[in-house]
Amino acid sequence: MPVPARLGVFRVLCLFAVFEAVCLLDTGMLFPRESSSREVKELNGRWDFRADKSPNRNQGFEKAWYKSRLAETGPVIDMPVPASYNDITQDPTLRDFIGWVWYEREVVVPARWIADEGTRVVLRVGSAHYYSVVWVNGVKVTEHNGGHLPFEAEIGSLIRKDPTQPCRITIAVNNTLTLDTLPPGNIQHMDDHTKYPDGFFVQNIYFDFFNYAGIHRSVLLYTTPKAYVDDITVVTDFLDNTGLVYYKVSVQGAATATLKATLMDKNGRCVASSSEPSGVLKVVDVNLWWPYLMHENPAYLYSMEVRLMATDSRSTYEDVYTLPVGIRTVNVTSTQFLINNKPFYFHGVNKHEDSDIRGKGFDWPLIVKDFNLLKWLGANSFRTSHYPYAEEILQMCDRHGIVVIDELSLVTSGVLLVRRDKNHASVVMWSVANEPAAEMTLIKHTKALDPSRPVTFITDSNYARDRGAPYVDVICVNSYFSWYHDPGHLEVIPIQLKTQFENWYGKYQKPIIQSEYGADAVAGFHSDPPVMFSEEYQKAVLQSYHNVLDQKRKQYVIGELIWNFADFMTVQGITRVVGNKKGIFTRERQPKAAAFILKERYWRLANETGRLPVWTKYPCSF
């Protein structure tokens, strides 16, 4: 086995400790799934909407818009959920709106949910950007700070107060960014009346993507019994042919409960079971979870069914929750990233949640299209730059064997992200931040939360900026030679890239991922010899990088992720041509010339480093 024995022993000894650390995280964040004991009702579709355009943006609170139907306090327009509101209308003031917007809809709650006091009814918002307050029938039920992560509130007792009333959900969302938000921003007021109209202000932001806002992911009502499975944590390992699933189940709503955990294979056959709330399930002749293009049978998922029974003076409750489980290990040496003890080379992309009309709104057709494009490209991985992506995307990664570097943005959301994403086989590493100013605390904190995964942070090519490097397991470097540095000079790439790698490795002896590189290309702009912004220039940058990557991947470079998978929207500015054009696909997901260069390379890399599934021998058949 290529993994050093020392690492293997350390791993086994640590598994239980790891597990305790991951389990320490408060209450659970299990993705709502239907089962024989749970129902899910999606509240997506058309909502009423109004932006509060009053001078202080506070009229909605002053006039308590949540107390009655939104249409009674002013005009409303149709707004789809999930979607960013910015690109839905022709109104430039809504596209660039800063402040509170109000969403509302009425829901018919099934009578049996109301009648049965033993049923918990939970309202869940998949994500809303940035600050949200939620009311049900005029009563505040929760508020939440930060986009990109779910939040929820139990509303059963509230809707039971008057079952004849419809359930009116009001959500106010504010996208103002300050120096205390993540991502950060600041509001600048311009008071010079010779230059600016009355009340003029701008939202400055310090990141390179459009500040899309609104309800970005699904809003759901779901039920559980009063006594329910609150959280499940799994950490996996294997020994020879036996898979090991260390698990822990936590229960809410019952002082005592009996549990049964059953692990089933793809055909629904029970392969291991236990009646303990925590322990280890042993799987004989295990099918490991392998990344796409690394194995002929990638992304094997077992199902772990947890069945709970609890009784109180009134009733007996049964809850069933089924979690997909991929059994795999991750290890890092000074030169390699090992999945299931085999060297893994990241050949992938960086993405954004971004598309036209929807902005950052979750959209299944887009997600499935993107996965088809990833597979067409021969990509085996991506990084969730620069925020947590929708859980459904990680579920797709588990299903398709696409490996994820999961990026968080601050300590509190770090806790939430680990809590939310800890069970995904596809998530092999946490990235604590992108080009951060202060990263040590984040790195240490994340390692303490989940010692079962390596941690990285994304740095730039300046190796002097290394405060986090001693603490991470893998060094991820972004560099844009011949673009931001020495623009137009392709000839600097070989020397500067080589120097970059040698400096970082020389100092830390840790494996390195080229986590961003690339060049803007406006689709359809051509120039030979290549000039910046042409498709030929983008191609040439990639090819120069690839020459150096091919030398260094034989030593300690363990991956390359292009910036970016697709063009994406940014704030308007003199360096952006209707957004960032470093995509190898357009925003509409059509390939630029660079996509074909990358496709040829990734399939070649896959042929060299992996064992291709039979059905992928002919990549053109997608």
Residues of this chain that bind ligand BDP (CB under 6 A): 208, 386, 434-435, 478, 516, 563, 580, 582
Shortest approach of ligand BDP to residue 386 CB, angstroms? 6
Residue 600 DSSP SS3: helix
C-beta of 135 vs 210, nearer to ligand BDP:
210
Shortest approach of ligand BDP to residue 116 CB, angstroms? 48
Q: Phi and psi dihedrals of 553, rounded to 5?
A: -70, -15
Shortest approach of ligand BDP to residue 517 CB, angstroms? 10
- The residue nearest ligand BDP at its CB is 208
C-beta of 218 vs 478, nearer to ligand BDP:
478
Shortest approach of ligand BDP to residue 432 CB, angstroms? 14
CA angle 61, 47, 45 (to 5 degrees): 150
C-beta of 44 vs 514, nearer to ligand BDP:
514
Query: Which one is catalytic: 106, 305, 435, 502?
Result: 435
C-beta of 86 vs 580, nearer to ligand BDP:
580
Q: Phi and psi dihedrals of 542, rounded to 5?
A: -60, -45
Environment class of residue 135 by beta-carbon count within 10 Å: exposed (0-12), middle (13-18) or buried (19+)?
A: buried
C-beta of 167 vs 561, nearer to ligand BDP:
561
CA angle 45, 46, 48 (to 5 degrees): 145
What is the signed CA dihedral for 293, 296, 298, 300, rounded to 10 degrees? 180
Cα–Cα dist 53/69, whole Å: 18
Q: 515 near 476, Cβ under 8 Å?
A: yes
Q: What is the DSSP string of 188-252?
A: EE---TTTS-TT-EEEEESSSS----EE-S-EEEEEEESSEEEEEEEEEEEETTEEEEEEEEEEE
Helical H segments across 431-479, by residue range = 440-449
Instruction: Report in angstroms the alpha-carbon separations of 50 from 59, 76, 167.
Output: 11, 5, 19
Cα–Cα dist 124/146, whole Å: 15
Environment class of residue 129 by beta-carbon count within 10 Å: exposed (0-12), middle (13-18) or buried (19+)?
A: buried
- State both tokens at 295: 């194995």
C-beta of 181 vs 434, nearer to ligand BDP:
434
Q: 541 near 494, Cβ under 8 Å?
A: no
C-beta of 150 vs 183, nearer to ligand BDP:
183
- State both tokens at 71: 């249409």
Shortest approach of ligand BDP to residue 469 CB, angstroms? 17
Helical H segments across 182-257, by residue range = none
C-beta of 206 vs 622, nearer to ligand BDP:
206
Shortest approach of ligand BDP to residue 540 CB, angstroms? 17
C-beta of 130 vs 483, nearer to ligand BDP:
483
Q: Phi and psi dihedrals of 417, rounded to 5?
A: -65, -45
C-beta of 388 vs 451, nearer to ligand BDP:
388
Environment class of residue 533 by beta-carbon count within 10 Å: exposed (0-12), middle (13-18) or buried (19+)?
A: middle
Q: Phi and psi dihedrals of 596, rounded to 5?
A: -75, -35
- Which residue in the block uniquely carries the two structure tokens 């690492």? 7
Helix (H) or strand (E) holding 111: helix 111-115
Instruction: Report in angstroms the alpha-carbon separations of 431 from 109, 377, 395.
Output: 40, 24, 19
435 is catalytic: yes
Cα–Cα dist 507/428, whole Å: 25
Instruction: Report in angstroms the alpha-carbon separations of 30 from 92, 120, 323, 570, 610.
Output: 39, 15, 9, 33, 33
Shortest approach of ligand BDP to residue 307 CB, angstroms? 45
Shortest approach of ligand BDP to residue 532 CB, angstroms? 13
Q: What is the DSSP string of 567-606?
A: -B----BTTBSSSB---SB-TTS-B-HHHHHHHHHHHHHH
Question: How would you classify the pairing of strands 381-383 and 403-407?
Answer: parallel
Q: Which is nearest to 430 in space by CA: 500, 332, 352, 302?
A: 332
Shortest approach of ligand BDP to residue 485 CB, angstroms? 12
C-beta of 203 vs 580, nearer to ligand BDP:
580
Shortest approach of ligand BDP to residue 75 CB, angstroms? 37
Edge-to-edge order in the sheet of strand 228-239: 228-239, 242-252, 278-283
Cα–Cα dist 436/133, whole Å: 29
Q: Which is nearest to 177 in space by CA: 446, 435, 409, 408?
A: 409
Helical H segments across 162-295, by residue range = none
DSSP label at 490? Answer: G
Shortest approach of ligand BDP to residue 350 CB, angstroms? 8
Shortest approach of ligand BDP to residue 516 CB, angstroms? 5
C-beta of 440 vs 571, nearer to ligand BDP:
571
Q: Phi and psi dihedrals of 152, rounded to 5?
A: -150, 165
Active site residues: 435
